[in-house]
Structure 1
Amino acid sequence: MKRGRGLEGGNGRLLTLLVGLGQLLQSAETMEVKMSRQRTAHFGEDVVLQCDIIEHSPSELDIKKMAVVWHQETSGVNGKKELYLFLGGKHTSNRNGSRLDESELEKGNAALFLPQIQAKDEGAYTCSVTVTPDHAEGTTILEVLAEPVVSLTPSKVTVERGTEKTLSCTVDKFYPSSIVIYWQKISKHTQDQSVSAKDICNELPVENGDSTFSVSSKLRLQPSSQDDGNNYSCIVEHRSFPVKAVFSAILTVTDPPVDWKVQALPIVLVFVVLVIIILCGIAYYAYLSKRQPTIVAMVGNTDLKHLEQARLQCLFSGFRPKHLDLAFFLIIHPQNKKQKIFSWNTSALGNVEQGNENVPLLQQQDMFSFYPTLLAKPRRTFDASCQIYILPDVRTVENFELLLEVKHGTLQHTETKSFRVTAPPLLDQIQCATDMPKSDEPLRLSCRIHSYFPQTINVQWYKNDLPLQTKPFVSSSAEGPDGFFSCSSSITYCPEASDIGTRFFCKANLTDSQQCRESVWELKTLVFVPQVSQIQCEPTMPECGKPVTLSCTVEKFFPDECDICWKRDFEELSCAINRTEEQWHDDAESNLYCKKSQIFFTPSAEDHAVNFTAEITHCNTRKRKSYPLMLKGFPKVTDIFLEPIDAEYGNKLSVRCDVADFCPGDINIDWFHDNHLVKNDIITEDPMEDSNGCYKLSSTFQLTPTAFDFNKAISCRVSHEKLRKPIVKEVFLKLPAKSPIVSEIKLKQNSKSISLEISISHFAPQDIRVIWYKDWEKISEEHNPKDIRIIENLCYFVSKIELNQTEEVFKKTIRCEISHPSTQSFKEKSIVLGNRDPGPTSEKNN
């Protein structure tokens, strides 16, 4: 698998083992990780994310025995990724410039240094620390800010009365994109500080190349003489500003120059008025008749994705008069409950000139946002539009309808559209069951699919662009506490040499959806496990004091790194001559390798019956081939045989050991049961001469197993004059574990005390735990009690407690919990102590 190209092979498995061990021993942990809950950084800053390891021992940490992993989790499609890894003194960074200070790490400070913070660095950072056997982790939220650069142009505005001019407020280089810009007017003639919305044009934020944003807002000025000296302010609110940022410009209004043509203006106005009256009379009917709107309602996709914003468009064009009522209703299935979520009346805007006019939102649900606009057209007609933004949440609603009601002087119209909300599946990284795929082992790939809704899903596996013929396993969809479903899929594939570099895909989609999500895994290497021949001995009948050669051939392996080590029992041979040939190609086509190794030594009496092993190490895996060296004239002892093989409690059991090829015939056989010498029930034959001039015999030990013999050792010790030390063969009795039978609680009482007892029988082995409770208060505990007896070859035990007969004892529930680890059995008995008269007992088994 990929891990930022920085962690493969052995390091990955070591990290997994360290973290796994830390989690297995979670109950014994004392180590903790202390981190700040949130950190704020500005663009370009260098940041140190603190991760203090506390409550650890010793005070100075051995960094070569610890692992530190930093993960970053973002809300984007990348999800959670590994950012930095420190493992056994090695650093692996997946973020440019990030680093850990080893000297600080020894003091318990696993802080991560991140230079030149950018927008992509925003997210949740998890610091996971493993100091075997302890493991701890913590999380901090890094919030990235970029303070806006605001400019207001021009800063001083001079406008000639009767003309227009525009103030421009430009906001640049800010992050995140959420920002508020509005205008305010301060006049010496009025207390009204508001600015007409129709004079304001706000653009949408635009993302820059460095992930910051830019936006501008423009204010159109059409001043009169009374506006002279007005102060116009552009007010910017952003998360990086501690307070609102205010940028102001002073307006100076000047009078237009006097023109002689103005003297003729009254005459011209009279003439124009006469012409207008005539034209109005002609155009009266053409401009004042009612006109029905053309309606195009709720254009957009009806298949909505969970928490993915969708947009609908409604258009109402060419209507007259201006008055138009719109109302939107939400109908949720299956309740069919109708709820008004938005309404709008165009007449509330006053006189509308030709151009766009933004309308404030009147009503809003969490899921819906409405943005209506009105446009005045020629001949006193109007166009209206309404953009609907929907942010659906499948946990709230799965199917719903939007009902639009339109009322105008010329018509009443209703239109309904149905919507369906789904959550496409998310796929985790494909996991391979092994870090080292091998040619002789099936390759198992698995992928977790989660966060989808509804429950039905299709899963298909591909090899490059072709679907795999093997039918994948797909588990049943399980519903999580958040209401979403998850499942897992796996497939088994037998790889070949030609599959190196092949990409495997897991693709999933909802049953009735064509949108497919995928996860990919690449087979980068393939290991051919070496085939190891049987060890050959020369001569075939070795003798004490004469040279011996052992040889072993390793063939058909890849890659070529392969080590062969010879061992005597479990110790490396130091007194033997070892000769290992260089590896060679098995054949030109397969590209596989072969290798041969030999050792030369002279055996002594101590080498008899000792296993000589060739240990082959290849790609972090080991294979062993052993050869028991049997010297001529020395006793050869077989393993111990059980008759019958499956031992049972109370049934006779014969334990036999055969000894052959020893000379002279004097020999001593001893049996041990649980490390105690056995003197009875042993049958040992007299030595018999074999055809090769040596002797042989058989020895048998008979016993009847009980629960006390569970997993006990039985050994046979063979002593002979040629042996420097006896040969010992050992076997453990694999008897079945039996869960206990528990009686009801028995009660005996007198004037001063109450005695309670419970019988536990027919269990094996003898490890048992008994705990008594008064309600939820523990009053007695016995673990592996010494007074366990054997009855009918199985264990029997009676647990007793005694309580003082006081008023606070009565009306209490006395419980007895019996647990037997070997059978994972748990049983509970209880009794309610009434007023001098105990209630019935109850039973609970697990």
Structure 2
Amino acid sequence: MAASEPPRGLPPDDRVDLYLFRFMQNPAEGLSRLQRGLSLQLTAPSTHRAIMGEDVTIPCSFTIDNPPIDQKFLGISWYFQGNEILSVQNANVRSRDPRISYTGRAENGTADLSISDITITYGGIYRCAILYTPKKEEKEIRLDIQAPPQITITETLVVKNRESVLRSVISGFYPVDIDIKWLRDREILANVIMEIPQRDPDGTYSVRSSVTITPTEEDRERIFSCRVQHESLTAPLQEDFRLVYGEIPNVQITSQTFELDVEQSLVCNVSGFYPESITVNWFLNDTLLENAKLQRISSSAVESVYHFIPTEQNWGMELSCVVDHATLTTPHVERLLVQGIDLRAKHKTSVAIVAALLILVLGTVTFYVLYKKERKKSFPKVREITRSPGGLFSLDVDHFYPEAITVSWEVIQPPSSTQPRPIDSTPVMHQNQDGTFNVTSTSESLRGMIWEDEPYAVRASVTHQKLKRLSHKEWKSDDKDNRDFLAQPEVEMIKIPKWFVNQQTQLQCRITHFYPDQLTVNWFKKENGKEDLIYIVDNERYKIPNRKSQLQPDKTFTYTSLLEVTPSLEDRGSEIICRVSHPSLEGLIERTTGPLQVLVKPKAQHPIQLPINDSGDMVASFSLFSFYPEDIKVTWTYGPTQEKKPSQETISENPDGTFTVTSQRTIPGNTKDWPKLCIEIANTLWGLIHISPSSGLTKGERVSGVRWPGIGYHFVQDLPWRPHIGDFTCLLLDGKYEIMCEISGYFPDDLTVSWYKKNEGADDFVPVGNDNKYQTAVSEPQIQPDHTYSCTASLMFTPTLTEDQRSEFICRVQHPSMEEPIERRTDAIKEYTQPSVCIIS
């Protein structure tokens, strides 16, 4: 055993015992270290500041009176909130957190601690502890985490000479103390309200602030600002903006005298408003009327039409048009009382006479039409232009022959213009049983071709050889026709089946087939168990990229709104909602993700551990940590048969809501096949981990370097209890020369030791031992605290000058845990003198 190595089984954290052991092994060096180590000075700040999301280094340094620093007598430990998080001993670094690392240089007296991508949870008291035998110094450092705020102005709409509220959201800041001011041309405003700050999942805070003002005409040219002061900022943060002036809508109902059981169109005219987004609904008493149709007249005028047939039950009820707009604090209500006359009895005789006359007229007309049809067979019959939603127009031409025919289209705006513009069209031909043809010609959509708030005319011209001249059909718009250009959006939320913590996820809200390109999309979050919706703004956690609508061949638009989210475990059960508004809609369209399923992939805490217990059995142990949900199952197999073996699992919940599982499999130490089993385990050690699909692991994924093929993972690792050959010790006593080496750390107690010699000038080693000259021995094995064995192997002989001068010796060890033996050798021994340590080659 080398003099500098401690006894087997010494706990790694028992630094004092380690140094005392070294002191006893070499008193002279230990005394020198003791004298020089009495003066140890530690330098570290009392506080240190870090910005959330950055990499931070906490400084700590030390000096001694008599450098250089001997790392054999040096121990460095870092503690957080009283728990050890990192230790350094003999240049070996052990960290209990993957974000925490040692970036100091012990030989230069630096013991700095580094934390990557720091979060709020890492703020608190750290302790740097330096042990330099036998002196120990410690210092506490308070790490303050700060996060700078972001300002989002959410409401700038005002009405002149009327109280209006400006609103903002300040998000992503830490600590909680913050100062918010509102300014008008650098003048600080009064009537500011700041709500109670709310804690976000990442530990930062968000707060809403508002200010009430009465804007004047002069305020149109003034700059308004929201200014924030926070300890994370070197200078105040300020967001400037101008007011958006809105106009309150004027509402008027147009109707006629009500007649019992006679339909009439009720029109609610809403005009003079800004911005364009507005909601108009009809109510009968307190019941919403679903069939009303809203059409836009211009950017500042709409009308809602409801076709109403009064009944006896409706008599005396109240019709109301309810308008909701951003400039209104409460919806505007315009009312109309249902009252009128019943004309049914008065007109019964008149109705009968009119019906008889109609029958007579229809009969005459039918006879005439049939007559003309037969006479003018094969002449094109040009129908009237029909209008379809979306700005499409169609024209039918029936029963013509021959087939050749031309239908051309033009649009004229205004109708008095002398410069018509051609419109592309598509004809669809059909042959009748009598050999004649029909054609339907459909124009392309007029969306984007005309001014939708001005009158226009559409003209179709038909050319055919049976016609003496061009046949024209014309259609003219009126004030109500612009509604046909509107196209209601279709909204689809592209759902993500599984969300993974700290892995950015992109939500897509796809809106198609809408016109005009006046779309508003907002994102909201509904937390688990709560009814209130949280308006999502672009910040560090949520990103809403700017995108443009895409024009489609049918002249409608398509738009995909993106929301990039980095989920946390607190998002479990929450919903993300996409809300869409458009001029073609009477209300809003919402799509939701439904309750979110948030997952955390397991991480391997350490390789499989293979300690030996007091009974001489091997206990294989493996841990996975920080996974969610809890559902997980571990099954062990090993050897060529891959037979499943029983195991024990312990699952515990972590403070952050994730789980840790530790699985153990005991292999009896007294099995008859232990030598064979050792080699099987050493070369093919299996851990088959069955997990529920909700854990998110898929085929071929790696978790902390362990591959997961299908439902399990497989890897090869060295056994921790393979034998180790220590340094040689050579003794000369009474003419006998003895070479000894310590063999340690092996299990089970099944060891074979062989000795070999190579003389000077020879090419090969030859076995020696247990003859007239050489004697070998292996001491009785000793059980160590970790339940492995150690022993001492020796070779004794009487050296001769002619045979043994400059000879080399090998100690070769074979054990069931190894397929190949291990060995150590001496250099050529030149002299056989006093006791010494042999040189190892």
Give the alignment's TM-score, normalised by structure 2.
Answer: 0.30
Using CA pairs under 8 Å that are at least 6 residues apart, name the structure with larger relative contact order, 1 or 2: 2
Q: Return the TM-score normalized by structure 1.
A: 0.30
